[in-house]
Amino acid sequence: MLNGTDRSALLDVRGLTTRFATPGALIHAVEDVSFNLSPGEAVGLVGESGSGKSTVLRSLLGLVKPPGRVVSGEVLFRGRDLRTLPADELRRIRGGQISLIFQDPVNAFNPSLTIGEQLRRILRLHRAEAPVGGFDREIERMLARVGVDASGKLNGYAFNFSQGQLQRIMIAAACLSGSPSLLLADEPTTSLDVTIEAQVLQLLRDLRQELGLALILVTHNLALVAELCDRVLVMYAGRLVEDGDVYSVFDSPKHPYTQQLLRSVPRFPASARRVEAISGSVPDLTAPAAGCAFAPRCERYLGAICDSLVPALAPAGSAAQRAACHLYTCQR
């Protein structure tokens, strides 16, 4: 469901707004972001660096730390607002029903604790009773599922493992609670070579199918979204500018930013055509524009309305797509 309230939604985000207060400036990192996610659905969150993608993920789980703060909005998970839950209850949901894969697997683990100690902590927090065979047997089973031979390795530290192994271990940790229904993946393959990347992607695909996981994937890799996701959300300058199913957005992008973003992707096999870059630079988030933030870079600039009025997400050509552009709001 693209808009409105969906009572069947697993996750329903409404008006999420996050700020970072720095000396002498206030950064508008996420601005009035709303979307929902159905059980088992995979959504890709894309956009240039600094558009607010990773901040959205951290805001959902209350992981934004000072000087950042979620200033408004609702994050309804199974109908309950995560922002209003007591800290202990949120901690049980975070890592239990909702799991997060961080961008950097090396720094995601505590270097002073063994891998086994860290994975046992997860099990103790999220399992009321020890699994059959004990914690270590369950850890070894899950590590084997993600392609890591745990024999004699639970006493090892993070520096004893390769980056690819640590990414797999992090995915195993995300599933150790036994009952996750939503997986948040923040650039899960950025630091991996192409061979390991393909293996990790297949692993995510298999786990989604086996466990019925919904997925929010933050990535710069549009090909990855086309391969793994059902829907795509495009962000620019902290706002959602397009929302639609993958086929519609990739075949017929509606927002000028999405159109230019897709044209900037290198093609294979290579051609003589020069790779197109988006002109201009990303806006200053300490001084948000009065109108559309993309207006200074837009090829379809309409004039004063673009400079003075922030466009709302509106149906754009079909029920499968919405775009925050006056090209569509002015036609209604």
Q: How far apart are CA 228 and CA 41, in angstroms?
A: 10
Whether pTM exceeds 0.85: yes
Q: What is the pLDDT of residues 107-117, one digit of tens each?
A: 889 999 999 99
**Higher local confidence (pLDDT), 108 or 184:** 184
Cα four-point dihedral sign 305, 50, 266, 165: negative
Order of all β-strands in the sheet with 314-315: 98-101, 182-186, 214-218, 42-46, 231-236, 239-245, 321-323, 314-315
Does the pLDDT at position 61 exceed 70?
yes
Average pLDDT over residues 34-49: 94
Average pLDDT over residues 75-89: 94
- The CATH superfamily of 11-86+220-329 is P-loop containing nucleotide triphosphate hydrolases (3.40.50.300)
Radius of gyration of the chain (CA): 21
**Mean pLDDT lowest among 77-81, 153-157, 202-206:** 202-206
Q: How far apart are CA 302 and CA 290, in angstroms?
A: 15
Contacts 24+ apart (CB under 8 A), 88-94: 90/61, 90/62, 91/125, 92/125, 92/126, 94/61, 94/62, 94/63
**Mean pLDDT lowest among 53-62, 75-84, 85-94:** 85-94
Q: Are 69 and 19 in contact (CB under 8 A)?
A: yes
Between the alpha carbon of residue 46 and those of residues 25, 50, 54, 132, 184, the distances in Å are 26, 11, 10, 41, 14
Backbone angles phi, psi at 78, to 5 degrees: 50, 35
Cα 19 to chain center, whole Å?
Answer: 18
With tokens 């890799």, the residue in question is 221
Q: How many residues does the chain have?
A: 332
pLDDT at site 1: 47
pLDDT at site 54: 93
Would you state the structure tokens that stand for residue 245, as one six-digit string?
């199913």
**Higher local confidence (pLDDT), 123 or 38:** 38
**Mean pLDDT lowest among 62-66, 107-111, 299-303, 316-320:** 316-320
pLDDT at site 281: 87
Count CB atoms within 10 A of the CB of residue 325: 26
Q: What is the mean pLDDT of the chain?
A: 88
| Proportion of the chain above pLDDT 90, given as a percent | 54
Does the pLDDT at position 227 exceed 50?
yes
Does the pLDDT at position 7 exceed 80?
no
Count CB atoms within 10 A of the CB of residue 72: 12
Between the alpha carbon of residue 42 and those of residues 103, 220, 263, the distances in Å are 18, 16, 24
Does the pLDDT at position 185 exceed 80?
yes
Between the alpha carbon of residue 105 and those of residues 102, 141, 192, 254, the distances in Å are 6, 20, 10, 35
Count CB atoms within 10 A of the CB of residue 101: 24
The SS3 call for residue 20 is strand
Q: Are 303 and 309 in contact (CB under 8 A)?
A: no
Average pLDDT over residues 121-140: 80
| Proportion of the chain above pLDDT 70, given as a percent | 93
Count CB atoms within 10 A of the CB of residue 301: 15
Q: How far apart are CA 92 and CA 81, in angstroms?
A: 14
